[in-house]
Chains A and B, each alone.
Chain A
Amino acid sequence: MKTKSLFITAIVSLIPFSSAFAGEEALNSGDTAWIIVATALVMVMTPAGLALFYGGMSRYKNLLNTIAMTFISYCIASVIWMMWGYTFAFGTDNAGIIGGLNHLFLNGISVNSLSGTIPTYVFVLFQMTFACITVALVLGSIVDRMKFSSWIVFAALWVTFIYCPIAHWVWGGGWMGKMGALDFAGGTVVHINAGVAGLVLAQVLGKRSGYGKEAMFPSSITLTALGAALLWFGWFGFNAGSQLAADGVSGSAFLVTNTSAAMGALSWMFAEWYVNKKPTLLGIASGVVAGLVAITPAAGFVNLPASLIIGLVAGIFGFYCVAIVKKKIGYDDSLDAFGVHGICGLWGALATGLFANPAITEGAAGLFYGNPKQLWIQLVSILATASFTAVGTLIVVYITRFITGGIRVEPEDEINGLDSSLHGERGFEITF
């Protein structure tokens, strides 16, 4: 107990230095250095972490297509963010709904501009990596069957019209942030958003041919495990970087992120071991991601014991959703973007409303710290995000379908595999 109270005292004493948006602050080189590194860490999550995580789970004939879609998502979101994405999300607020056009093509930002204690250019880039990974996460629901051209159009429209407004609501001075919704690093903005969008897109696209009838083996669980490790590594930048400072809260976010990931892996593995009699590596890797997703909105607000519970529940929830619920409902979310990111993101957002501890970040208190209202605010933010994404994504999908003349590949191409039919390449050349 004594150690714990000392720890809390230490954290509290750091708080005055941690407010990222305190207006008149000067550039802090420590903060700046850390956020530059954190940005590079988050970057790795998309074209390396997610590409391998998803690629390994897709069939051998669609491995390259999955990686290509992930890569190109990063590129599209990178460019759009600089042109108009940043200003839609972080430009001058318009009625709490969307940012103004004052930073179109980063207009008005110079090398001397500051966001809190870091240069605005660094802030722009850090936020860009979040937009990139969010759109890439969506494709986990639809691999094996979507036209590449349709994915490109979809990704561009989706970042612009779905991601940017939600990012504005929560982080850009929009209504959700003003309402007091707590989302430290993107439980609603990134994970619920991507998970629901994936589900909608998968429903419009339809099931993979042969789904439920023929075996669809992952091309390489080895790649998936490596991808999960890279995601885990990058997630330290994602969560600890979201404090936008190198301070005690960012250290605490780092600590709870790792703990929750490890707990998620353990609980998913044991749940699967108990139900299916075998502890699979895919289950362990998925549990890591489930734990990471769930701690994301909570990372800067909760303490160590809370992170143990958040990870534990995330692993069991994730397993239950992808292994049992999905089978019962019968939707084809190929790589479980909804099951892992949507559901565990939802749990994380709620858990933030339960466990947020004012001793970590001042003023952020959840139900267990005497603020039941927070849980309600979290619920409203979840429902608003999910509904906006569901409807918005549906519209974006229909527009995409109109522009690219259908969004699904030809049946023959689907059977032959997208690597060969769309890209003219093969992922492996293995001969005996």
Chain B
Amino acid sequence: MKKIEAIIKPFKLDDVKEALNEVGIQGMTISEVKGYGRQKGHKEVYRGAEYVVDFIPKIKIEIVVETDLADKVVETIKKAAYTGKIGDGKIFVLPTEEVIRVRTGEKGKDAI
């Protein structure tokens, strides 16, 4: 099993969610995060006082899938989150040892 973490632009969340639904992904966890990479922060000016905002709001999506689905999911996210401009985000793929469904105690791929 793999865990896929994707950092994307917030306004792309709906596109990514729909695209993932189409390839059969049934659930995901998202969080509002902040960070920066090559896309530096921006400047805000209040009555002449300039403040540089380093951290830019992003959405982090977390999904766990069976190993053979991982490439397809990555590809789907890559396509749906793409704008071509700096700051489109990153996708991380991590190995996952175990998944347990709390309610039933099911484990492994049955629990996904």
**Are A283 and B44 in touch, CB under 8 angstroms?**
no
Partner of A280, one of B32, B45, B51, B53: B45
Q: A212's closest neighbor in chain B, by CB?
A: B49
**Are B51 and A215 in touch, CB under 8 angstroms?**
yes
The yes or no answer to A423 lying at the interface (CB within 8 A) is: no
Contacts of B44 in A (CB 8 A): 217
Partner of A336, one of B45, B47, B51: B47
Describe B's contact surface by its main secondary structure.
strand
How far is B45's CA from A276's CA once the two chains are assembled, in angstroms?
8
Contacts of A282 in B (CB 8 A): 46-47
The yes or no answer to A218 lying at the interface (CB within 8 A) is: yes
The yes or no answer to A12 lying at the interface (CB within 8 A) is: no
How far is B48's CA from A323's CA once the two chains are assembled, in angstroms?
4
**Are A216 and B49 in touch, CB under 8 angstroms?**
yes
Q: A214's closest neighbor in chain B, by CB?
A: B51
Q: A323's closest neighbor in chain B, by CB?
A: B48
**Are A323 and B32 in touch, CB under 8 angstroms?**
no
How far is B45's CA from A39's CA once the two chains are assembled, in angstroms?
36
**Are A324 and B52 in touch, CB under 8 angstroms?**
no
Count the B residues whose beta carbon is within 8 Å of the partner chain — how many?
10
The yes or no answer to A278 lying at the interface (CB within 8 A) is: yes
Instruction: Give residues 19-50 of B contacting A (CB, 8 Å).
Output: 32, 44-49
Contacts of B52 in A (CB 8 A): 215
**Are B48 and A324 in touch, CB under 8 angstroms?**
yes
Contacts of A283 in B (CB 8 A): 47
Contacts of A276 in B (CB 8 A): 45, 48
Q: A221's closest neighbor in chain B, by CB?
A: B46
How far is B49's CA from A336's CA once the two chains are assembled, in angstroms?
12
Known contacts A215-B53, A216-B51; A432/B32 CB under 8 A: yes
How far is B65's CA from A202's CA once the two chains are assembled, in angstroms?
60
Contacts of A336 in B (CB 8 A): 47
Closest 7 CB pairs of A and B: A323-B48, A215-B51, A322-B47, A276-B45, A322-B48, A327-B48, A282-B46
B: residues with CB less than 8 A from A are 32, 44-49, 51-53
A: residues with CB less than 8 A from B are 57, 215-218, 276, 278, 280, 282-283, 286, 322-324, 326-327, 336, 339, 432
